[in-house]
Amino acid sequence: MSLSSASIPVYETSLHGNSFSYRMVGSGPALVLLHGITCSSATWDEIIPALAAHFTVIAPDLLGHGDSAKPNTEYSSGAYACYVRDLLLELGHTRVTLVGHSLGGGVAMQFSYQFPDMTERLVLASSGGLGRELHAILRMATLPGAEAILKGLSGSRVRGLVDGGAKLLGRLGLRAGTDLREVWRGFGTLSAADTRRAFLNTMRTVVDLGGQRASAVDRLYLAGQMPTLIVWGDSDRIIPASHAAAAHAGIEGSRLELFPGAGHFPHLDDPARFVSVLLDFVRTTKPARIDAVRAAEVVRRRTKAEEAAAKLRAA
């Protein structure tokens, strides 16, 4: 029987006393899909059936999102990466290709830094953590009183005013179409107090009023050890496509795919192309084989090179 988005199996497990929801289907090498802020694993439903023909696809609801638990705990990229690692180990997967969108891209990069021996490839789709610039609507979550504002925006009566909400977000500069729809849908998930708390804890960990403060830019050279694909919409107004170009320049051997006319959700704006690009990337690259010793050697070489450059500048 062919798989449809409506028939993707959803499972639940417990990790460290917290419930975790995840989608898992297919067979073959493990492909992990990590969603963005206020989203859930459902964001991948349109492309999971095509990917499941080639991979064991695992798409978790990150802690604080979707049907996973929303405890009052740490929501840093490092903490997210540890939970993803523990979920994969419970499921019996020790080597994976990671695909991360937005917040999930930052988590994927953090995972690859913390657990290089488990990471075969890295795919960053409109990823966070690659520069300061971020749309004002997300930066506003760091303001005092954001809790009350979000509570009002996500109330049932306001959520019912789809057209009015869309116009409001449009006036704030969001791209009409998928970006506007998905951001408005994300606000709708914040009606529950525990979800709002998890959202605010996450945002205030990685964002301040000036933009993104959690950054992987100084460690991009480490991603050069593994095959890396960068996918971005050239019309992304949430995280600009200039971040994609900078990351591509900073990661030796990386591939860059800009989707014309797509916004912050390239896997939704052009799912067929997203799948095609991803399959070609996996098919034409060899999985990385990195252990802690090799990773440490790369860091030491980089440190020595930076020290030598500093001495030359001071001379």
Per-residue pLDDT tens over the stretch 107-152: 999 999 999 999 999 999 999 999 999 988 888 888 888 887 777 6
Whether the pLDDT of residue 78 is over 60: the answer is yes
Alpha helices in the chain (DSSP H): 48-52, 77-90, 103-114, 136-139, 146-153, 156-159, 162-171, 178-188, 193-206, 220-223, 242-250, 266-269, 271-283, 292-314
From 264, 267, 269, 270, the catalytic residue: 264
- Known active-site residue 264: yes
- Known active-site residue 67: no
From 21, 77, 102, 154, the catalytic residue: 102
Q: What is the CA radius of gyration of the chain?
A: 19
13, 182, 230, 308, 310 from 88: Cα distances, Å = 11, 28, 23, 40, 41
pLDDT above 70 covers a percentage of the chain that reads 90
* pTM strictly above 0.85: yes
Name the pLDDT band for 172 (thresholds 50, 70, 90). low
Q: Taking the domain 5-134+212-314, which CATH number applies? A: 3.40.50.1820
From 236, 243, 254, 270, the catalytic residue: 236
